[in-house]
Amino acid sequence: MLDASRRANSLTALKSFTWGTVGHLPCVNLLSGPLSIILFHHRIRPRHTPGAQRVIASSGSARPETGTGTTGGLSGPPVAGRLIAPSLDVHASFLDALSEYHEEGIHLDLVSEELVDTTTFQAWADGLQLAGVRGEASCERDRVPHRVLWWVHNDQYIGRVRINLTLNESLLAFGGHIGYDVRPSARRQGHATALLGEALRVAHNLGVATALLTCAPENTASRRVIERNGGSLRDVSSAGRLRYWCLTR
């Protein structure tokens, strides 16, 4: 357990970390970030009730993605999943996923040991929601109203998505409306395609009629995921990102 002063310091440090754009996290800052979700459509959930996950959207069967090979223990055919508000119910698997990211040398600003304590973890998860409603982020580009949701399969954390409700000039060039991320051991199983499909439905319910998604030209996997979800390539942004537009529904 963390004492009160260390817990406060941990939460302060966590506010410097966000996730945010398709398949890749250029800006580090998790309270506003994926990559850089409808958690509560302009209201904040009270304290977590064990076993009572709020399901925002769920898929049928995920469409398979091109590519072979997985790592870790989350192998198998493409499967269904669901989007939920950040939840203590997937605390253990979230920490496992974070360890996988750390092995890849990414998301190192988010310290696993500081989230082991369930009270700290819940406070951090609540902060994700509040930051989204307020449009807060440590990275200036990401300071727009947004929602962050987690993708869950078999009660295991698989990934997350950020949905920006408005765009500024920076997001028009890099980031767009939706950014997502899938944990390393769950990649190439159809999760990214299914996650993005459900995120587009959520975006529609939040008032986004056409969503902008951006990715690097060399990121073939992300391009395929966007195109499978109806994305239409329009142009290349001033930041060198491919810009796709997707109808939400």
**169-228 pLDDT tens trace:** 999 999 999 999 999 999 999 999 999 999 999 999 999 999 999 999 999 999 999 999
Other CB atoms closer than 10 Å to residue 229's CB: what's the count?
24
Count how many Cα atoms sit within 13 Å of the Cα of residue 237 in the half-sphere of its side chain: 20
Asked if 249 and 201 touch (Cβ cutoff 8 Å), the reply is: yes
Beta pairing class for 55-58 and 232-236: unpaired
As a whole number, the mean pLDDT across the chain is 79
Other CB atoms closer than 10 Å to residue 209's CB: what's the count?
9
Spell out the domain ranges in the chain: 4-208
- pLDDT for 249: 85
Higher pLDDT, 57 or 27: 57
Q: Where does residue 140 rank: exposed (0-12), middle (13-18), buried (19+ CB within 10 A)?
A: exposed
| Residues 6 or more apart whose Cβ sits within 8 Å of residue 220 | none
**18-29 pLDDT tens trace:** 444 444 443 433
4-208 has CATH 3.40.630 classification: yes
The average pLDDT across 229-249 equals 97
Flag whether pLDDT at 168 surpasses 70: yes
- pLDDT for 193: 95
